[in-house]
Amino acid sequence: MTNTVSYIPPRPDPRLPPPRINLFSDTQTKPTPAMREAMARAEVGDEQFGDDPTVWALCDRMCALLGTEAAVFLPSGTMANQIAIRVHCRPGDEILAHETAHIVTSEHGGPWANAGAAVRGLPGERGIFSAETLRAAIRPKSRYAPPQSLVSVEQTANIAGGTVWRAEELAAVVEVARAAGLATHMDGARLMNAAVALGVPAAALARGFDSVWLDFSKGLGAPVGAVLCGSRAFIDEAWRWKQRMGGAMRQAGVIAAACLHALDHHVARLAEDHANARLFADRLAAIEGVTVQPPETNLVFFDPSGAGLSPEALAARLAQRGIRISVLGGRCRAATHLDVTAAMVEEAAAEIRAILGG
């Protein structure tokens, strides 16, 4: 073992104040009192044996929401991606996805390790590749080249700016993939953010995809959980991998209840997160030397380098003042969510202005 870094996440630094304004990620939401009550009241059973009524209720609800035949409850979005890839691909296959996709950057090589499948990164502005780019990347079937079996899109595209794929862009990509005999997968970690931003039903964005999942532990505010959806045959296979990977659970209704509560109470309010993100971006854009990507949803990417401070240095200075942001893909990222108010966003922007002397 010659690791120079530890893979164990660090404990909170006792020299830093606890975050007063937490823009680090929408994963940092804490379950609300009402959500905790729903969890406490949940009817439960052994999920692994199909006995948990609350998990079934969540799966049925997701099928209705996304227009799919079947669904499976999983502990994380990463597991949803890995299981879907494992079902769609065989060792040696190639997956086509945007070069900034989570499956490329943030799952520790999962597609290569778990499915034996390579991901080929496609270019495209704002994390979105066009149907033409996809068509150009698809090779004729051959005994020599790796077989291409899957196209994956990310809704919203996280590192690219929390950007939104429009229904027409998705439909065009699905059409090209289908024509070439490739399966289609949607990493819908923030699918509901996209649906709310566009004002369209989530099913309209998931249409035509062979698999799609939604994360509940991001802006929807649940502590744990993702639901992977698809055809009955797809979910049947997905269950084998859930079992093999250790994703089969027991009284999981406790966490499924939080997800159901989120669907009832935390979807429409995502519009507030988007408004707060726009407010924050407007305030930052008024600071000299700061470049801001206009937010499309709840993620604000900006670069303070023009004001003389690196993204890392700014994040460290903010942490000393009880404000947490992240650095992702070489830029600062601030995420608005359930536990972030307009007043907090104003305060964070004012602190950044004070630090940068703007």
Ligand X SMILES: *Cc1c(COP(=O)(O)O)cnc(C)c1O
Smaller CB distance to ligand X: residue 321 or 337?
A: 337
User: Can you read off the two tokens belonging to residue 202?
Assistant: 């989530």
* Residue 76 near ligand X by CB under 6 A: yes
By CB under 6 A, which span of 32-40, 45-53, 77-85, 291-299 interacts with ligand X?
Answer: 77-85
Pairwise CA distance, residues 184 & 107, whole Å: 19
What mask of x and - would describe binding to ligand X in positions 30 to 69, judged by CB under 6 A?
Answer: ----------------------------------------
Smaller CB distance to ligand X: residue 126 or 317?
A: 126
Pairwise CA distance, residues 74 & 288, whole Å: 45
Which residues between 150 and 209 bind ligand X (CB under 6 A)? 154, 158, 187, 189
Smaller CB distance to ligand X: residue 185 or 278?
A: 185
By C-alpha distance, which of 290, 307, 306, 299 is closest to 325? Answer: 299
* Residue 297 near ligand X by CB under 6 A: no
What mask of x and - would describe binding to ligand X in positions 224 to 253, judged by CB under 6 A?
Answer: --x---------------------------
Smaller CB distance to ligand X: residue 44 or 224?
A: 224
By C-alpha distance, which of 194, 213, 218 is closest to 204? Answer: 194
In what side-by-side order are the strands of the sheet with 118-122?
Answer: 70-74, 226-230, 211-215, 183-188, 148-154, 94-98, 118-122
* Residue 114 near ligand X by CB under 6 A: no
Distance in Å, CB of 190 to ligand X, minimum: 6
Q: C-alpha angle 103/200/236, rounded to 5°?
A: 50
By CB under 6 A, which span of 72-80, 88-96, 258-266, 302-310 interacts with ligand X?
Answer: 72-80
* Residue 273 near ligand X by CB under 6 A: no
Distance in Å, CB of 245 to ligand X, minimum: 13
For every residue of 259-322, DSSP letters joined together read HHHHHHHSSTTHHHHHHHHHHHHHHHHTSTT-EEPPPSSSEEEEE-GGGT--HHHHHHHHHHTT
* Residue 217 near ligand X by CB under 6 A: yes
Interface with ligand X by CB under 6 A: which residues? 76-78, 81, 102, 154, 158, 187, 189, 215, 217, 226
